[in-house]
Amino acid sequence: MGLAGIKIVLVEPAGPLNLGSVARVMKNFGLQNLVLVNPQCDRSSFEALKMAVHAKDILANAIIVPTLPQALAGCVRAAATLGRDCSWEIPLDSPRKALPWLLAEPDKPVALIFGREDRGLTNEELNYAQRLIYIPANPDYPSLNLATAVAICCYELSQLAETFPNYDIPATEAATLDVVEPYYQELESLLLSIGYLYPHTAASRMEKFRHLYNRAHLQTTEVAMLRGMLRQIEWALKNQTQPDNL
């Protein structure tokens, strides 16, 4: 599938000029799947079409969804870009280091996520990514325009596709992100019910669990096994017998 399997996901893009420019650089480097999450501008506006030039078809065929999980449906891997450095426990990689990992599932859809022009992605949205990408820039002025960031990543992806036209990777049944997400929801609910998690710290604790499972690259059968285990634990908790009072 190569570049054809890569989704470029923009979360709440607000500038039509940026949107058109993104479509143009995608076509420049051979990418075609654009997904817009709750866009704040019109993809068919004069400004967007003017900047897209000969990539108007990218805009016309873009998929629009209301939430990020819906944008990632069917994807087995996802990387997110950050417009700023941060103190996350998982490392930040440059595009040249992270993007080969994104292409390591040649026959499966994958996603590269970009955040809002003014404030990027929220921590909750970053949780959906298995790798975080930070583009090194001049520390005196590190902020990159959205279309520029997309262009850098699309260029790197196009170079990788030329370098590795034929993959020799064992076939796996890697779980798609929308298959793994219900497991996280069930796990959080169970851990809250038994008192392992507390409502005010659940989000930060679950981030650690997500990072752990992301490193494991769960397969579909493994997710099914984990969900079966949770259901059995829930059944045991509901049906446990109380000792007779002495």
Q: Which residues pair with 34 in a beta bridge?
A: 8
C-alpha–C-alpha distance, residues 8 and 113, integer Å? 6
pLDDT at 95: 93
C-alpha–C-alpha distance, residues 117 and 94, integer Å? 19
pLDDT at 85: 55
Give mean pLDDT, residues 67-84.
91
What are the pLDDT digits (tens) for 167-180? 444 445 678 888 88
Q: Where are the domains of the chain?
A: 2-163, 177-239
- Residue 90 reports pLDDT greater than 70: no
Give mean pLDDT, residues 152-175.
72
Backbone angles phi, psi at 133, to 5 degrees: -115, 130
Q: What is the CATH number of domain 2-163?
A: 3.40.1280.10
- Residue 118 reports pLDDT greater than 50: yes
What are the pLDDT digits (tens) for 198-240? 998 888 888 888 888 877 878 888 888 898 898 899 888 888 7
- Residue 142 reports pLDDT greater than 80: yes
pLDDT at 170: 45
Range scoring the smallest mean pLDDT among 6-15, 77-86, 123-132 = 77-86
- Residue 63 reports pLDDT greater than 70: yes
Helix (H) or strand (E) holding 211: helix 202-216
Range scoring the smallest mean pLDDT among 46-55, 131-140, 174-183 = 174-183
Q: Kindly state the tokens that stand for 96.
A: 């040249």
DSSP class of 172: -
Give mean pLDDT, residues 185-206.
90
Assign 91 a pLDDT band (cuts: 50, 70, 90).
confident
Percentage of residues in the chain with pLDDT exceeding 90? 53
Assign 84 a pLDDT band (cuts: 50, 70, 90).
low
- Residue 112 reports pLDDT greater than 80: yes
- At 182, the amino acid letter reads P
For residue 140, how many C-alpha atoms fall within 13 Å in the half-sphere facing its CB?
Answer: 0
pLDDT averaged over every residue in the chain: 88
DSSP class of 3: G
Give mean pLDDT, residues 4-12.
95
Which CATH code, of 2.70.98.10, 1.10.8.590, 3.40.630.10, 3.40.50.970, is assigned to 177-239?
1.10.8.590
pLDDT at 168: 43
Rounded to two decimals, what is the model's pTM? 0.76
